[in-house]
Chain A
Amino acid sequence: MSNVGYIIAAYGITLGALALYGLHLWSRLRSAEREVTALTADGRMLDGRR
C-alpha cells in the first residue's frame, strides 16, 4: 500500500475526532441529567447552591 502515512492520518484523525466528540457528548449528557435530577429531587443544584 502506497502513501500509507497519509491514509492512516486521514482515517485516524477523522475517526479519532468523532470518537472524542462522542465521549464529550456522553459526558455533557450525564452532567445535564445529573443537574436536572438534583434540581427536581431536593431543590439543590450540583454545586450545593439553593
Chain B
Amino acid sequence: MIGRYLANGLGMLALLAVLVGLYLAFFYAPADALQGDVQRIMYVHVPTAWVAFFAFFVVFMSSLVYLWKRLPEADRLAYASAEIGVLFTALTLIDGSIWGKPTWGTWWTWDARLTTTAILFVIYVGYLMLRSFVDEPDRRARLAALVGIVGFIDVPIIYMSVLWFRTLHQPPSIQRGGASMPETMLFTLLFNFGAYTLVYLFFLVKRVRIESLNAIAETLVAEKAVHE
C-alpha cells in the first residue's frame, strides 16, 4: 500500500495542479469566438467526464481481475473507484447542464450523449446500492463485479453517441487526427485532464485505504468473537 506521506504528497500535487488549471482556464486560454467566456466551463466539464470514464474503466478491470483471481484487493479497488466515478459523473451532468443553458437554451434535453451519461450514472448508483444490499462478502463481490463489467459497455456508447446519432451535443473536442481548437485551449484542457486525474488518484488511494481498514476491523471483530 502506498505510504501516507506519498499519498498526502499526491494530494498536495493534485491541489496545486487544480489551482494552476484554474489559472490557465481563466487567464491563459482565450475566450471562445462564438460562445464567449461561458465556454471556459469546458475546462472543468470535459476533465470530470474523462475522470468518470477512467474511474469506471478501473472498476471494469478490477472486476475482471476479481472474477479471475478472487482477490479481495481487486474488489476493494473496484468499489472505491465506482464511488469516485459516480461523484465525477454527477458533476459532469451538473456542469454540463449549467453549460447547456446559455449555449443551447435549455438545462436538459434527451439528447443521445446526455441520456447515455445519465444511464451510466444510474448503472453505477445501482452498483453501489447492490453492494449495500448483499451481506455475504463473496456473493456481494461477485455480483458487483458482474455489474461493474456489464455497466462499462455504456462508456464507449457515450463516447460514440455524438458520432452515431444526430445530437445537440458537440462532437469530441479531441479526435484522432487532431483537436478542433487553438493550441492554448488544447494545452489548458490537457493540463486540466491531468489535474483532475491526480485528484481522482488521491481520492482512490484514500478510499482504498478506508476499505482495507474496514476489512482489517471485520477480521479482528470476527477473531474476537471466536475467542470469546
Contacts and interface: CB of A to CB of B under 8 A. Distances in A.
Interface of A: 1-4, 6-7, 9-11, 13-15, 17-18, 21-22, 25-26, 28-29, 32-33, 35-36, 39-40, 43, 45, 50
Nearest to A28: B210
Contacts of B214: 32
Q: Tell me what chain B mostly uses at the interface: helix, strand, loop, or mixed.
A: helix
Given A10-B95, A29-B213, 20 more contacts: A1-B37, A3-B38, A4-B37, A6-B99, A10-B41, A10-B99, A11-B41, A11-B44, A14-B94, A17-B87, A17-B90, A17-B91, A22-B11, A25-B207, A29-B210, A32-B217, A35-B217, A36-B216, A36-B217, A50-B224
29 contacts: A4-B37, A6-B98, A7-B41, A10-B95, A10-B99, A11-B41, A11-B95, A13-B94, A14-B44, A14-B91, A14-B95, A17-B91, A18-B87, A21-B203, A22-B202, A26-B206, A28-B210, A29-B206, A29-B210, A32-B214, A33-B213, A35-B213, A36-B216, A36-B217, A39-B217, A39-B220, A39-B224, A45-B221, A50-B228
Interface string B190-227: 00000000010011001101100110110011001000
A36 B218 CA distance: 9
B171 interface: no
Q: Tell me what chain A mostly uses at the interface: helix, strand, loop, or mixed.
A: helix
Interface in B32-90: 36-38, 40-41, 44-45, 48, 87, 90
B38 A6 contact: yes
Interface of B: 11, 18, 22, 36-38, 40-41, 44-45, 48, 87, 90-91, 94-95, 98-99, 101-102, 199, 202-203, 206-207, 209-210, 213-214, 216-217, 220-221, 224, 228
Given A2-B37, A6-B98, A40 B87 contact: no
